[in-house]
Amino acid sequence: MLRYLAALIFLIATPLMATEEQVVLGMSQNRVAITANFDGSEILIFGAVKRETAIPEAHPLEVVVAVSGPKLPVVVRRKEKRLGIWVNTDSVEVDAAPSFYAVATSGPFKEIVKDIEDLRHKISIPRAIRSVGAPMDVKNAQEFSEAVARIRTDNGLYQVLENTVEVDQQTLFNTSVKLPANLTEGDYLTRIFLTRGGDVVSQYETTIDVRKVGLERWLFNLSRQQPLVYGLLSLAIAIAAGWGASAAFRFIRQGG
């Protein structure tokens, strides 16, 4: 009986402990419009920690901000040199890889987030990529997920921004995340984690809406809904551009 009573007390107390510190979040913008001349954007993320009790003294407060683009499957192929020629050999479909992923932290990631917490919440880049069910005959299947992370990091789509979250008096925090020009449309999940001693003590989630607008939206919809018309329009524009360039060149030669 005492054992069940203790378990009941624990279940009742756990939500109370989990909400001792809560995030009150703000962002400079929660919508990003992709236009014809879009060259990237910078999102300022700031917030405060709401408390019902005094600031805990055991461990300092740390903050982790993770921004994730839409998760899509991607096929990764391994190339090997055979008879002097590079050819595709093995291939693996990574089930879900964020099109964009940025992790900003108030300290070194390994020091402020325990591995078990990273595994539970999938905060780091390797944990954010989901790859299961690789063919049995493929060796070192994990290398394919690592290749996705490496390539997208080189392209600026994956970012690890350690020590970029400023925390003031364990109450206020702010950081900024740069979104590159080559963004994928969709909802960008933004997660805020408060940690103490490596343990996640609170979590908050919101989204950033990234959409094409204007001419970009019209062309995107046309390419999906009427691909034949889109192809003919692209051909007509290419011909007109070529003719215009040729006419301008002849005019310049005649003028000279």
Question: Domain spans of the chain?
Answer: 21-212, 226-256
Question: Which residues, in sequence order, are CB contacts of 93 under 8 Å at separation 6+?
Answer: 73, 74, 75, 76
pLDDT tens by residue, 115-153: 999 999 999 999 999 876 655 556 666 788 888 899 999
The CATH architecture assigned to 21-212 reads: Sandwich (2.60)
Say which amino acid occupies 42. Answer: E
For residues 75-94, give the mean pLDDT.
70
Does the pLDDT value for residue 16 go beyond 50?
no
Pairwise CA distance, residues 27 & 205, whole Å: 12
Q: How far is CA 233 from CA 19, 35, 226, 240, 247, in A?
A: 56, 19, 11, 10, 21
Determine what percent of the chain is predicted with pLDDT higher than 90.
35
Inform me whether the pLDDT recorded for 19 exceeds 70. Answer: no
Query: What is the pTM assigned to this prediction?
Result: 0.72
Query: CB within 8 A of 197, min separation 6: which ones?
Result: 58, 59
Give the Å distances, CA to CA, from 68 to 199, 207, 226, 254.
21, 9, 30, 56
Q: Which pLDDT band, with edges at 50, 70 and 90, does 157 fall under?
A: very high
pLDDT of residue 4: 36
Mean pLDDT value across the chain: 78
